[in-house]
A and B are shown apart, each in its own frame.
Chain A
Amino acid sequence: MPSQEVFSWLRTRFFPHIWCPGCGHGIIMHALLRALVALKKKKSETVIASGIGCSSRMAGYIDACTVHTTHGRSLAFATGIKLAKPELTVIDVMGDGDCTAIGGNHFIHACRRNIDITAIVMNNNIYGMTGGQASPTTPVGSIATTTPYGAIDPSFDVCRLAEGAGASYVARSTIANPKQAEQFIMNGIKKKGFSVVEIMTHCHTTFGRKNNRRTPIDNVNFFKNNSVPLAKAKEMSEEELAGKIITGEFVNRNIPEYTEQYLALIENVRGK
């Protein structure tokens, strides 16, 4: 059960939520709310932006300044909000399709700009809300409604993408390790700059059903059995790592943050 403090962040009058019983998104929402409580954030100074998809419905359930935008575009909306009011804590919650397909351009540019937003990418390897179509993170060979003979296109590695595009903080966890997910979210929020926390989750309803991970428990076990901490992964060969999920903090660097740069520019221009 959530603590009283966590509970106070929920818009329970809008429940029941739309997620299937056993969905991993609830575990992630709980981890996010615990992180917000631990960081003593104020609801009226916390923005949760989201795009479209099951995961993006999370924004509506959280009692904060919430904006459920268009598919893939949430980071661009969030960028406008953050730039207008840099004092706000801005978190963007999105799914893998939202982040890496339709919103891919916004994602890489948010990383490049290094604006102080924390992106939580809930990666369930599938478009769940629309019924289980393949996404850019669907593993090769997996069955989806649009890859009935198995996916042939290589999938994105969200963390490597974020690292290459210039994010300040990049980490990955799974819903089988909610304490770690909470810690990474907390670290991401505290980091001045663009943070990406990818959390591997499942859609047993659409992805699991077709890929031998039928029940929520099958999926939790899958994550437990296939996660490899970064330190251990460094000692493993490419073959040994095939199909494994590397978890941990990949990037944590101090680089200039966009709104700080812009405010400094204002000061500079106005001072002249």
Chain B
Amino acid sequence: MPEVAFWQGNEAIAYGALAAGCRFFGGYPITPSSEIAEIMAERLPKLNGRFIQMEDEIAGIAATIGGSIAGMKSLTATSGPGFSLKQENLGFAYIAEIPIVVVDVMRGGPSTGLPTKAAQQDVMQARWGTHGDHGTICYAPASVQECYEVTVKAFNAAERYRQPILILSDEVIGHMREKVVVPEIDPSTLTERKRPVDIPEKFVPYRPDPKDDLPCMASFGDGYTWHITGLTHNDWGFPTNNAEEIEKKMKRLMRKVDRFRDDIVEYETESVGDAEVVVLAYGSVARSSLRAVHDARVRGIKAGFFRPVTLWPFPDKEIEKLARKVKTIIVPELNCGQMVLEVERAVHGKAKVLPVNLVNGELFKPEEILAVIEEVA
């Protein structure tokens, strides 16, 4: 019998991380994500793991990267202002190719903004927040159940692709309580870091495996000596100003996500087969949107629902295909119009794209979205 729990989204992320094999958490208190840190502080020592509350958000992610360098699956969690502070070392994890998972439980911004209110204003920051080019993998769970599931996936992806993975939850999902059927996770199904097979003298830390184009990684203390740097480096991890080596590194960083895009992208649809109007939403907004679509169907409107589970990479090909069959795509968001830009890029004029935005700290009511559906139907 699988365990049935009644959790908040933040709790589900913490328990999902532990089930995925996470044994290190470095962080700093911030609303509305602190429950994740609190659970990790309580649970990790019992599993011979490590929890450390650092002096600030920057140090929280730095210690988390350190934990991963030493071989532990590592997590940090934060919210808006903290996510801003973490961008510097997030970039370090991208270029140095260190697997970590970063949770951002979104609240209203800019700045201190609305610590206890829901928003979806960090979705572009998740993609472009740190300076420089890199591929991004980012999950946006829409239920407590999914918080658990995407956290397990995020750890698997971090270890497989050797890069940071983001989870963008929001205040509603983070603090909402729901029934969760806790999946029984067979540890053998978890992705473990690809370790070097070469003897230490022959280990080249950033040389991609010809089989999957991804480099393996030794941990500090495993008998290997190697260099990690935030400077652009060659296969040996040593800083380079050589144009050929720089290009090789940058292209491979981008390829990590591009090449495996179809394996990574996840989305959910409902009633899109004959739909004329589709509501495209993610995170907490997807919940009021789905209800609105159901209500519209009851009223005889051919409404459908599309929910990206991965915001990055964005399911653009799938949305383009959908756009060929529908008249209008409504994009409700708790921001002033961020992911709608990606929808417009994907749709490329094939259907009408209608942004609906709410930035007053509240979640959409289903009837507000239904009213828009009725208007365009």
Contact A73 B238 (CB under 8 A): no
Residues of the A chain whose Cβ atoms lie less than 8 Å from the Cβ of B238: 11, 14, 60
CB of B150 within 8 Å of the partner chain: no
Residues of the B chain whose Cβ atoms lie less than 8 Å from the Cβ of A68: 227-231
Contact partner, B48, options A63, A79, A270, Cβ 8 Å: A270
CB of A220 within 8 Å of the partner chain: no
Chain B nearest CB from A130 CB (Å) reads 15
Tell me the B317-336 residues at the A interface (CB within 8 Å): none
Interface residues of B (CB under 8 A from A): 24, 26, 45-46, 48, 50, 52, 54-56, 58-59, 62-72, 74, 88-89, 92, 200, 220-231, 238-239
Residues of the B chain whose Cβ atoms lie less than 8 Å from the Cβ of A84: 24, 50, 66-67, 69-72
A270-B55 in contact given A60-B229, A81-B69 (Cβ < 8 Å): no
Contact A76 B229 (CB under 8 A): no
CB of A233 within 8 Å of the partner chain: no
A44-B223 in contact given A68-B230, A70-B92, A109-B54 (Cβ < 8 Å): yes
Write out, one digit per residue, whether chain A residues 79-115 have a CB within 8 A of any chain B CB (1) or not (0): 1111111011000000000000000011011000000
Residues of the B chain whose Cβ atoms lie less than 8 Å from the Cβ of A67: 66, 69, 220, 227-229
Contact B56 A80 (CB under 8 A): no
Q: Which 8 A-B pairs have the closest CB atoms?
A: A80-B66, A80-B63, A76-B62, A84-B70, A76-B59, A109-B55, A68-B229, A65-B220
Contact B227 A81 (CB under 8 A): no
Residues of the B chain whose Cβ atoms lie less than 8 Å from the Cβ of A79: 52, 54, 59, 62-63, 66
Q: Give the residue among B63, B65, B200 with the most A Cβ atoms within 10 A.
A: B63
Q: How far is the CA of A79 from the CA of B59 in the complex (A)?
A: 9
Interface stretch of the complex, out of A146-154, A176-184, A191-199, A261-269: A261-269
Interface of chain B, main secondary structure: mixed
Chain B nearest CB from A153 CB (Å) reads 23
Residues of the A chain whose Cβ atoms lie less than 8 Å from the Cβ of B69: 67, 77, 80-81, 84
Interface residues of A (CB under 8 A from B): 11, 14, 43-45, 47, 59-60, 63-70, 73, 76-85, 87-88, 105-106, 108-109, 262, 265-266, 269-270
A81-B66 in contact given A43-B225, A45-B221, A69-B92 (Cβ < 8 Å): yes
Chain A nearest CB from B26 CB (Å) reads 6
Chain A nearest CB from B49 CB (Å) reads 8
Q: How far is the CA of A121 from the CA of B289 in the complex (A)?
A: 56
Residues of the A chain whose Cβ atoms lie less than 8 Å from the Cβ of B64: 80
Chain B nearest CB from A49 CB (Å) reads 8
Chain B nearest CB from A76 CB (Å) reads 4
Q: How far is the CA of A73 from the CA of B86 in the complex (A)?
A: 12
Contact B231 A80 (CB under 8 A): no
A-B contact pairs, 16 of them (CB 8 A): A44-B223, A45-B221, A60-B238, A66-B227, A67-B227, A68-B227, A68-B231, A76-B59, A77-B62, A80-B26, A80-B62, A80-B63, A84-B66, A85-B70, A109-B59, A266-B45
Residues of the A chain whose Cβ atoms lie less than 8 Å from the Cβ of B224: 44, 65
Contact A44 B200 (CB under 8 A): yes
Chain B nearest CB from A33 CB (Å) reads 14
Residues of the B chain whose Cβ atoms lie less than 8 Å from the Cβ of A73: 58-59, 62, 88-89
Q: How far is the CA of A22 from the CA of B29 in the complex (A)?
A: 46
A44-B221 in contact given A68-B227, A80-B52 (Cβ < 8 Å): yes
Chain A nearest CB from B236 CB (Å) reads 8
